[in-house]
Structure 1
Amino acid sequence: MEKEDLVSLQRNVLKLRVEGKYEETIEACFQLLEAGLAANDPKSILTAQINNAASFYCIGAIEEAFYSIDAYLEYCTDNGDEADRLNGCNVLFLLHEFNKDYEKAKETLENAIELGKNLGHFNIVSNAYSNYSMILAKENNFESALSMAKTGLEMAELHEPRTPILEFRVKLNIANALIGLEELKDAEQLVKEMVNDPILASFIREKTQVHDLYGRYLMQKKMYREALQAYDTAKELAESYNDRNLLKGILEKRCKLCDLMDDVQRGYKAQQEYINLLSDLRQHEVSMAAVKIGVKHRISTIERRANTDFLTGLYNRSYMETTTDKWLAEAACSGESIVCIAFDLDNLKSLNDTYGHIFGDEIIKKIGQECARHIRSGDLIGRFGGDEFAIILRNLSLEEAQQKAENLLEAVRSIKIEKDGIYISLTASVGIADNVGGTIGTFTELFHQADVALYQAKENGKNRICIMS
C-alpha cells in the first residue's frame, strides 16, 4: 500500500472519532491496523491502536480498551517516540480513572506531566494537572486538589497559541476544590464568572459541567430551590447531546435535593426520570454487548493475521521469535530442553523455473499443512519466507527431535503433486540444534545453530538431517 493511502486511512480514523462515530472508528482502525502491519508502518499501527483504545472506552468496552492500550504501549516501546508515549499516558489515565484505580491514575498523570514538560506540550501538561486535581477531589483532598488545579492554570497560560477553553477547563477544577474547602465566597465569584462566559456558546459539555458545578455550590449554601434550577439546566444540556454518564450524576443530585426540600411531587418526578435513565443505560449495555462481541472478533482476527504467514497460515517469524525467547528464558532457569528444527525444500527453484511461482506457492502451502499435522499442539511451526520453515519443540532431547525430523522427512517424501500429468516427488533438508542445557538464550542464536546444520545437510547431498552438536 502506498504511503498516501496509509495517510488517508489515518485521517479517516481521526475524522470518525472526532465525529463520535465510535463503532465506525473501530472498523476503520481495524483496516488501518491491517494495512499498517502489512506495510510495517509504525505510525499507522500506533494511530490504529490508540484510537481503538479511545473508541472502546467511549462505548464502554473497557476490557477491549485496555487490550488496545496495552498493545499500543508495547509497540510504542520499540517503535514510538516521546509524543507517542505521551498520547499513551492520556488514554491510560481514562481507563484507570474509569476503574477507580486512583493510584495508577495519578502515576500515569505524573508520567504525562514529566513527558509533556520535556516536549513543551503545555496543553497536555495542563490537562494532566487538571485531571490530577479531579482525582484528589474525589479522594476529598481538596487542598491538594486546589494546588494542582492552580498549577494546571499556569501551564494552560504557557500554551501557545492561547486557548481560552483550556484555561476554562482548569477553572472548573479550581472552583470544585474551592467548594470542597467551603471557601464559598471565592467559589461564588469564579462560578458566576464562568456561567456567563461567552465561550460556552461553542462548548456544550463544559456548559453542562459549569451548571452542574453551580448547583453544587448552591447546595453548599443550602439554596436548594436555586440549586434545583441549576441542575435542571444541566440536565437539559446533558440530554441535548446524550451524555448519559454526566446525566446520571445530575439526576442523582436532583433526587437528593427533592428529599432535602421535602418536595414529594418533584421528588417523584425526579425519581421516575432517574429510573428511566437507568433503564436506558441497561438497554445501552445490551446493545454494547453485541458491539463487544464484534470487537472481540475483530481483535482475534487482527491477532491471528499479525502472527501468521499469509501464504501458509503458519506462525510468522515475529511470533516465533517472541514466543521462543520467552521459552528460552524459562528454560535457562528450569534446564528444560528447547530444540529448533530448520528445514527447507530441495530444488524448489528449479520447480519454480519449470512450472511457475504460483505452482511453487501451492507446494509450500502443502508442505506447511503436512508438517503441521506431525507436531504436538504445544509446539510451534512457522514459515520464514521462501521455502524455509522452523519448528520449536519443548522438553525433547536431540535424539527425540531427530526422530521427529525423520517423521517429517517421510511425510514430505510421501507427498505426490500432479502437474500436467506428471507426479512430482519432494524432498527436504533438515538441521537440528538445541539450547545446550539453557546456555542459548535467544531464538536468533538457536535458529542460527539449526540453520548452520541445515546448510551442512544441503552441502552433504540434500534429503537428509544434520545435527549441530
Structure 2
Amino acid sequence: MEKEDLVSLQRNVQKLRVEGKYEETIEACFQLLEAGLTANDPKSILAAHINNAASFYCIGAIEEAFHSIDAYLDYCLDNGDEDDRLNGCNVLFLLHEYNKDYQKAKETLERAIELGEKLGHYNIVSNAYSNYSMILAIELDFENALTMAEKGLAMAKLHEPMTPILEFRVKLNVANALIGLEKLEDAEQLVTEMVNDPLLESFIREKTQVHDLYGRFLMHKKMYPEALQAYDIAKELAESYNDRNLLKGILEKRCKLCELMGDVERGYKAQQALIDLLSDLNQHEVAMTAVKLGVKHRITSIERRANTDYLTGLYNRCYMETTADKWLAEAAHTGESIVCIAFDLDNLKILNDTYGHIFGDEIIKRIGQTCARQIRSGDLMGRFGGDEFAIILRDLSLDEAHDKAEHLLEAVRLIKVEKDGIYISLTASVGIADNANGKIQTFTELFHQADLALYQAKEGGKNRICMMS
C-alpha cells in the first residue's frame, strides 16, 4: 500500500472519531491496523491503536479500550517518537481515571505537561491542566483546581491557530472550581457568559456540560426550580446524542434536586427516568458483549496474519526475531540453553525449473507441515522465505538438538511427492548453533551462526547436519 493511502486511512479514522461515529471509527481502525502491519508503518499502527482506545472508551467497551491502550504503549516503546509518547500519556490518563487511581492520573498528567511544553503542543498541555483541575475538584481541592484551570486557560491562549472551543473547555473547569470555593459572584458572571456563547451551537457536548454546570451553580444559590430547568435542558441535550455516562450524572442530580424541593410528582418521574436509563445501560452492556466477541476475533485474526507466513502458516521472521530476542535476553541471566536449527530443502531450484514454482511451493508447504509436527508445542518454527526454515528450541543442549535434527531429516526423507507418475524423494541440509552460555543475546547473531553451519552442510555434500560450537 502506498504512503498516501495510509495517510488517507489515518485521516478517515481521525475524522470519524471527531464526528463521534465511534463504531465506524473502530471498523476503520481495524482497516488501518491491518494496512499498517502489512506495510510495517509505525505511525499507522499507533494511530489505529490510540483511536481504537478512545473510541472503545466512549462506547463503554472498557476492556477493549485498555487492550488498545496496552498495545499502543507497548508498540510505542520501540517504535514511537516524543509526539507518540505524549499521546500515550493522554490515553494512560483514561485508564487511571477510570480506576479512580487519582495519584497515578496526576503523575501521568504531569508527564504530559512537561513533554507537551517541551514540544510546544499547547493544546495538549491545556487539556492536561484541565484534566488535572477536574481530578483536584473530585478530591475537593478547589483552590488548586482553580490554579490548574487558570494555567490551562493560559496554555489555550498560546495555542495556534486560536481555538475558541479549547478555551471554552478549560473555562468549564475554572467555573467548577469557583463554585466549589463558593465564589458564586465570579462563577455567575462566567457561567452566564458561557451559557449564552453562540459557539455552543456547533458543540453539543460542551453545550450539555455548561447547562449541567449551570444547574450546579443554581443549586449552590438554592435556586432549585431554576436549577431543575437547567438540568432538564442538559438532559434533553445528552439524550439527543446518546451520551449515556453524562446523562446518568444529570439524572442523579435531578433526583436529588426534586428531593430537596419536596416535589413528589417530579421526583417520581425523575426516578423513573433514571431507572429506565439504568435498564438501557444494562441492555447496552449485553449488546456490547457481542461487539466485544467480534472485536477479540478481529484482533486475534489480524495479529495472526501479521505474525505468520502466508504460504506455510508458520511464524514469519519478524515474529521469530521478536520472540527469540526475549528468550535470549532471559537466558543471558538464567543460563538457559537456546538452540537454533536452520535448514532448507536440497535442490529446490532443480525441482522449480523442472516442474514449476507452484509445484515447488507445494513441496515447501509439505516440508513445513511435516517438520512442525516434530517439535515441541513451546518451541518456535518459522519460514524465512524460499525454502529456508528456522527452529528455536529452549532448554536443549547441542547434542539433544542434534538428535532432534536427525528426526527432522528422517521425516523429510520419508516424504514422497508424486508428479506425473513419478515419486520424488526429498532431502534437506541442517545447521545448528546455540547461544554460547548466554554470550549470544540476539536472534540475528544466533541465526547467523546456525546459517554458517548450514552452509557447511551444503558444501559438505548436502543431506547432513553441521553444528557450530
Instruction: Give the TM-score category using the shorter length.
Output: over 0.9
Counterpart for residue 267 of structure 1: 267
Secondary structure in 1 matching 2:321: helix
The more displaced of 289-298 and 14-23 is 14-23
The more displaced of 272-281 and 76-85 is 76-85
The more displaced of 251-260 and 2-11 is 2-11
Matched, 1:96 2:96: yes
Letter in 2 for 1:386: G
Matched, 1:15 2:11: no
Letter in 1 for 2:352: N
Counterpart for residue 373 of structure 1: 373
Letter in 1 for 2:121: H
Cα distance in structure 2, aligned partners of 1:181 and 1:344:
75
Secondary structure in 2 matching 1:437: helix
Counterpart for residue 67 of structure 2: 67
Q: How many residues align?
A: 469
* Unpaired segments ≥5 residues, structure 2: none
Counterpart for residue 238 of structure 1: 238
Using the TM superposition, give the Cα deviation of residue 463 of structure 1 relative to its aligned residue in structure 2, in angstroms: 0.6
Counterpart for residue 258 of structure 1: 258
Aligned-residue identity in percent: 85
The more displaced of 59-68 and 121-130 is 59-68
Using the TM superposition, give the Cα deviation of residue 151 of structure 1 relative to its aligned residue in structure 2, in angstroms: 0.3
Matched, 1:464 2:439: no
Question: Are the counterparts in 2 of residues 314 and 383 from structure 1 also a CA contact under 8 Å?
Answer: yes
Cα distance in structure 2, aligned partners of 1:238 and 1:3:
39
Using the TM superposition, give the Cα deviation of residue 299 of structure 1 relative to its aligned residue in structure 2, in angstroms: 0.9
Counterpart for residue 174 of structure 2: 174
Counterpart for residue 218 of structure 1: 218
Using the TM superposition, give the Cα deviation of residue 120 of structure 1 relative to its aligned residue in structure 2, in angstroms: 1.5
Counterpart for residue 431 of structure 1: 431
Matched, 1:227 2:218: no
Cα distance in structure 2, aligned partners of 1:337 and 1:362:
34
Alignment of 1:55-454 (within 5 A): 55-454=55-454
Using the TM superposition, give the Cα deviation of residue 179 of structure 1 relative to its aligned residue in structure 2, in angstroms: 1.0
Cα distance in structure 2, aligned partners of 1:357 and 1:49:
39
Letter in 2 for 1:278: L
Using the TM superposition, give the Cα deviation of residue 227 of structure 1 relative to its aligned residue in structure 2, in angstroms: 1.3
Using the TM superposition, give the Cα deviation of residue 235 of structure 1 relative to its aligned residue in structure 2, in angstroms: 0.9
Question: Are the counterparts in 2 of residues 342 and 432 from structure 1 also a CA contact under 8 Å?
Answer: yes
Cα distance in structure 2, aligned partners of 1:418 and 1:468:
35
Letter in 1 for 2:275: I
Cα distance in structure 1, aligned partners of 2:6 and 2:309:
22
Cα distance in structure 2, aligned partners of 1:321 and 1:447:
9
Cα distance in structure 2, aligned partners of 1:295 and 1:157:
40
The superposition leaves residues 345-398 of structure 1 with CA deviations (integer Å, 9 ceiling, x where unpaired) of 111122222222222211111111111100011111111111111111111111
Query: Normalised by the size of structure 1, how large is the TM-score?
Result: 0.96
Cα distance in structure 2, aligned partners of 1:396 and 1:21:
53
| Structure 1 runs of 4+ with >3 Å offset | none
Cα distance in structure 1, aligned partners of 2:174 and 2:15:
32
Using the TM superposition, give the Cα deviation of residue 195 of structure 1 relative to its aligned residue in structure 2, in angstroms: 1.2
Secondary structure in 1 matching 2:437: coil
Cα distance in structure 2, aligned partners of 1:396 and 1:45:
36
Secondary structure in 2 matching 1:313: coil
Cα distance in structure 1, aligned partners of 2:185 and 2:15:
43
Letter in 2 for 1:459: E
Cα distance in structure 2, aligned partners of 1:163 and 1:8:
25
Using the TM superposition, give the Cα deviation of residue 16 of structure 1 relative to its aligned residue in structure 2, in angstroms: 2.8
Question: Are the counterparts in 2 of residues 57 and 95 from structure 1 also a CA contact under 8 Å?
Answer: no
Letter in 1 for 2:396: L
Cα distance in structure 2, aligned partners of 1:275 and 1:202:
31
Question: Are the counterparts in 2 of residues 342 and 430 from structure 1 also a CA contact under 8 Å?
Answer: yes
Using the TM superposition, give the Cα deviation of residue 437 of structure 1 relative to its aligned residue in structure 2, in angstroms: 2.2
Secondary structure in 2 matching 1:431: strand
Secondary structure in 1 matching 2:436: coil
Cα distance in structure 2, aligned partners of 1:130 and 1:104:
16
Letter in 1 for 2:24: E
Cα distance in structure 2, aligned partners of 1:298 and 1:417:
37
Using the TM superposition, give the Cα deviation of residue 288 of structure 1 relative to its aligned residue in structure 2, in angstroms: 0.8
Cα distance in structure 2, aligned partners of 1:110 and 1:327:
35
Inter-CA distance 15–166: structure 2 relative to 1 (3 Å threshold): closer
* Unpaired segments ≥5 residues, structure 1: none
Cα distance in structure 2, aligned partners of 1:48 and 1:380:
29
Cα distance in structure 1, aligned partners of 2:300 and 2:411:
31
Question: Are the counterparts in 2 of residues 379 and 391 from structure 1 also a CA contact under 8 Å?
Answer: yes
Cα distance in structure 2, aligned partners of 1:363 and 1:12:
43
Secondary structure in 1 matching 2:438: coil
Query: Normalised by the size of structure 2, how large is the TM-score?
Result: 0.96
Cα distance in structure 2, aligned partners of 1:350 and 1:19:
59
Question: Are the counterparts in 2 of residues 457 and 465 from structure 1 also a CA contact under 8 Å?
Answer: yes
